């Protein structure tokens, strides 16, 4: 242990007449602890919410959508083979999107129909495997004569449908007849309900077989887009650029981050804002450290003068008060980090905080990111270090002769 560290530790153990300084020191430690703990918990909850939204979105959306600006999709098999050959791509599947009206005996509602190939890679809806999707959508499956359709749970509630009910899809892709325009009508059997956790999807989305969607639109070769799935969802932008480079015009593509940019931008902004706001708690504690050190310098004027008279340099005096402030900051940061991580682990394991039904989560989402914890701890230590600059410079600049004369 260096001399500076030893003296800093002795100064923190205040005597009876310095009890007020000791109280401010304890309050500083408590303030840093509270600020760091709040930061760790809040940032973990924000990270958990972001992860939950991402998982739910990617549960119904492809990682990349590749579309043909001309709408022709010529040589689609060769296009799919080209995309499959790109590094990072796990699967490619043709998809059809269309807006329809769904009619049951008790209700009517608009919906977005997605025609998918169950044999291809489709986003696995929660509770459904690929085999389940194939059995529920394939006309030759257990649903008998009528082709199957899987509805969002909220959409099913709106139209009064349940598993086993028959319904009619009305598509704008109809034909002109002697009596006017006739929409395309096709009967389906509800073979399943899904719940993604995102109201926008659950209240408007329905899945049918790719061939049935084409029949509904009156075109056996109709394609709306190619869905692409990648190994690493965070490399989707890189894979998208590689796809466009290989395909060229008239193809264009959008990855999942672009399609949900507004949501994730809002989450990132909120996370940054919460970090800044809660850092102010640590900043207030840092001001307390500054106050305590200033009073300590005033109290130890005679001691500083004696140390200088004995040969202590200004750098040594400066280090004494820097170490004193950093001991306070390190203690508070360590306690806050430990308590924050401990509470996050408890919240994630036991999930005893339940949220109202208005929220997309039933319990508080918590996800600890170690980089976030390190950033919070580092930020706290930097603020505590900055709080020592003025007191230590004042102590180092003290004239020992004047201090002993008036000390």
Angle at 266 between CA 260 and CA 270, to 5 degrees: 150
Angle at 310 between CA 304 and CA 312, to 5 degrees: 60
pLDDT for the residue numbered 13 = 65
pLDDT for the residue numbered 143 = 47
Q: Please indicate whether residue 229 or residue 355 has the higher confidence score (pLDDT).
A: 229
Structure tokens at 73: 């999709």
pLDDT band at residue 40 using 50, 70 and 90 as cut-offs: very high
> What is the chain's mean pLDDT, rounded?
83
Alpha helices (runs of H) in 226-313, residue ranges in sequence order: 236-247, 256-259, 261-299, 301-309
Measured CA to CA, the distance from residue 138 to residue 120 in angstroms comes to 13
DSSP string spanning 138-159?
Answer: -TTSTTTTSPEEEEEHHHHHHH
**Region 32-36 average pLDDT:** 92
Phi, psi of 148 (to 5 degrees): -90, 155
Look up the pTM and report it.
Answer: 0.79
pLDDT band at residue 16 using 50, 70 and 90 as cut-offs: very low
User: Number of H helices and number of E strands within the chain?
Assistant: 15, 9
Element (H, E) at 136: helix 130-137
pLDDT for the residue numbered 183 = 67
Measured CA to CA, the distance from residue 252 to residue 231 in angstroms comes to 21
Residue 391 has pLDDT above 70, yes or no: yes
Q: Which residue has the tokens 């303030």?
A: 31
pLDDT tens for 201-258 read: 888 999 998 888 888 887 777 888 899 999 988 899 999 999 999 888 888 899 998 8
DSSP tag of 229: E
Structure tokens at 192: 């399943």
**Cis-peptide, bond into residue 144, ω within 30° of zero:** no
Phi, psi of 170 (to 5 degrees): -115, 115
Buried b (16+ CB within 10 A) or exposed e, 261-270: eeebeebeee
Element (H, E) at 192: strand 180-194
In terms of Cβ atoms closer than 10 Å to its own Cβ (0-12, 13-18, 19+), residue 275 is middle
Nearby residues of 233 by Cβ (< 8 Å), 6 or more positions away = 54, 58, 63, 256
Q: Where are the domains of the chain?
A: 3-57+263-406, 62-258
Q: Please indicate whether residue 21 or residue 78 has the higher confidence score (pLDDT).
A: 78
Give the residue from 211, 379, 224, 392 showing the smallest Cα distance to 300: 392
Structure tokens at 330: 């390190």
pLDDT for the residue numbered 141 = 45
pLDDT band at residue 118 using 50, 70 and 90 as cut-offs: confident
Measured CA to CA, the distance from residue 373 to residue 175 in angstroms comes to 61
DSSP string spanning 93-123?
Answer: EEEEEEEEEEE-SS-EEEEEEEEE-TTS---
Structure tokens at 29: 């430690």
How many Cβ atoms sit within 10 Å of the Cβ of residue 142?
9
Residue 151 has pLDDT above 50, yes or no: yes
Least confident piece of the model among 49-53, 158-162, 174-178: 174-178
Measured CA to CA, the distance from residue 98 to residue 115 in angstroms comes to 8
Residue 359 has pLDDT above 80, yes or no: no
Buried b (16+ CB within 10 A) or exposed e, 288-324: bbbbbbbbbbebbbebbbebbeeebeeebbbbbbbbb
Measured CA to CA, the distance from residue 341 to residue 368 in angstroms comes to 8
155 close to 86: Cβ distance less than 8 angstroms: no
Q: Please indicate whether residue 358 or residue 289 has the higher confidence score (pLDDT).
A: 289
384 close to 329: Cβ distance less than 8 angstroms: yes
Would you say how long the chain is, in residues? 407
């Amino acid at each position: 242990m260096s001399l500076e560290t030893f003296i800093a530790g002795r100064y923190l153990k205040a005597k009876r007449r310095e009890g007020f300084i000791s109280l401010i020191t304890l309050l500083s430690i408590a303030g840093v602890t509270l600020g760091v703990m709040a930061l760790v918990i809040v940032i973990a909850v924000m990270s958990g919410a972001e992860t939950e939204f991402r998982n739910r979105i990617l549960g119904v959306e492809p990682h990349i959508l590749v579309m043909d600006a001309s709408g022709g999709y010529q040589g689609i098999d060769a296009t799919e083979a080209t995309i499959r050959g790109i590094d990072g791509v796990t699967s490619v599947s043709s998809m059809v999107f269309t807006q329809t009206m769904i009619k049951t005996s008790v209700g009517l509602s608009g919906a977005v129909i997605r025609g998918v190939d169950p044999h291809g890679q489709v986003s696995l809806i929660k509770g459904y495997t690929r085999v389940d999707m194939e059995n529920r959508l394939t006309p030759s499956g257990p649903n008998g004569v009528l082709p199957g359709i899987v509805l969002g749970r909220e959409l099913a509630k709106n139209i009064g449908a349940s598993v086993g009910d028959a319904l009619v899809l009305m598509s704008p892709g109809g034909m002109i007849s002697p009596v006017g325009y006739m929409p395309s009508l096709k009967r389906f059997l509800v073979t399943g309900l899904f719940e993604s956790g995102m109201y926008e999807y659950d209240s408007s989305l329905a899945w049918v077989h790719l061939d049935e969607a084409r029949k509904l639109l009156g075109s056996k070769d109709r394609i709306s887009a190619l869905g692409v799935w990648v190994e690493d969802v965070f490399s989707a932008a890189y894979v998208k650029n590689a796809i466009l480079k290989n395909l060229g015009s008239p193809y264009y593509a959008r990855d999942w981050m672009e399609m949900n940019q507004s949501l994730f931008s809002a989450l990132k902004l909120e996370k940054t804002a919460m970090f800044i706001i809660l850092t102010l708690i640590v900043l207030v504690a840092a001001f307390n450290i500054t106050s305590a050190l200033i009073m300590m310098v005033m109290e130890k004027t005679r001691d500083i003068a004696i140390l200088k008279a004995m040969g202590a340099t200004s750098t040594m005096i400066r280090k004494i008060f820097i170490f004193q402030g950093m001991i306070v900051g390190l203690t508070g940061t360590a306690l806050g980090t430990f308590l924050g991580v401990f509470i996050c682990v408890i919240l994630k394991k036991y999930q005893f905080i339940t949220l109202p039904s208005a929220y997309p989560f039933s319990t508080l989402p918590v996800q600890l990111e170690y980089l976030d914890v390190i950033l919070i701890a580092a930020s706290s230590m930097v603020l505590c270090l900055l709080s020592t600059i003025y007191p230590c410079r004042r102590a180092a600049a003290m004239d020992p002769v004047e201090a002993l004369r008036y000390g």
